[in-house]
């Protein structure tokens, strides 16, 4: 499967590649062969980048799951958060080689959503959480607990896609957006929860356990 947002890129590069290959072979032109090879490489990369594999969330409904594929770069309590107070913050950095489809970490209702224009610092920079372009979703669980997850644009990523609107009921593990091309997702949880991951750990969206509600 491929993310629907990737189809325009897939179609464009596929057509360009076919045209350049046909032209270089028909005209027996080495001059056209070079851009044709480059176009093939770019087409393969676009297919790879927009892949969207199925994921199977764990059965335990108390588990909070990773919203993104990538590497954990932060797992600690912080005082400044979208929840308005101290919270456990877990940040996941996504390189251009990771799956970039984001998934809902826990089931609940969207009670707030905000978009902030900003800079495009390296997503691994600590200031990116507050200065970069980002999209924030605050979700309230069935038991009234609030969590927040934030898509953050990076140095190369310049396009955040987020489907939910305020009032939507989201299900743990379902797709809710993506970021093109490489970036970061922060998730904020109640401060009394214990992180099940640490910096350096690899995550799989919709499957890796970040924390657990008691």
User: Are 58 and 65 within 8 A, CB to CB?
Assistant: yes
Annotation says 183 is catalytic: yes
Q: In angstroms, what CA-CA distances link 100 with 7, 46, 52?
A: 14, 12, 8
Strand duo 209-212 + 63-65: pairing: antiparallel
Please identify which of the residues 24, 39, 135, 183 carries the catalytic annotation.
Answer: 183
CA dihedral (113, 116, 121, 127) positive or negative = negative
C-alpha 199/C-alpha 181 separation (Å) is: 22
Residue 109: CB partners within 8 Å, gap ≥ 6? 139, 140, 167, 168, 169, 170
C-alpha 35/C-alpha 60 separation (Å) is: 51
Q: What are phi and psi of 25, to 5 degrees?
A: -75, -45
Known catalytic residues? 183
């Amino acid at each position: 499967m491929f993310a629907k947002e990737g189809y325009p890129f897939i179609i464009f590069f596929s057509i360009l590649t076919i045209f350049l290959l046909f032209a270089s072979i028909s005209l027996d032109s080495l001059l056209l062969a070079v851009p044709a090879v480059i176009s093939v490489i770019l087409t393969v990369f676009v297919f790879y980048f927009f892949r969207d594999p199925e994921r199977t969330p764990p059965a335990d409904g108390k588990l909070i799951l990773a919203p993104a594929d990538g590497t954990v770069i932060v797992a600690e309590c912080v005082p400044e958060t979208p929840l308005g107070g101290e919270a456990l913050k877990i940040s996941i950095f996504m390189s251009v080689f990771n799956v970039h489809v984001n998934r809902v970490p826990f089931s609940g209702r969207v009670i707030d959503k905000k978009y902030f224009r900003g800079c495009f610092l390296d997503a691994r920079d600590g200031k990116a959480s507050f200065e970069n372009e980002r999209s924030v979703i605050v979700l309230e669980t069935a038991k009234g607990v609030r969590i927040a997850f934030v898509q953050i644009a990076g140095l190369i990523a310049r396009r955040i896609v987020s489907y939910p609107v305020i009032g939507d009921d989201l299900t743990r593990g379902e797709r809710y957006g993506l970021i093109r091309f490489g970036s970061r997702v922060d998730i904020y949880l109640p401060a009394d929860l214990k992180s099940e991951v640490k910096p350096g750990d690899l995550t799989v969206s919709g499957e890796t356990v970040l924390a657990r509600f008691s």
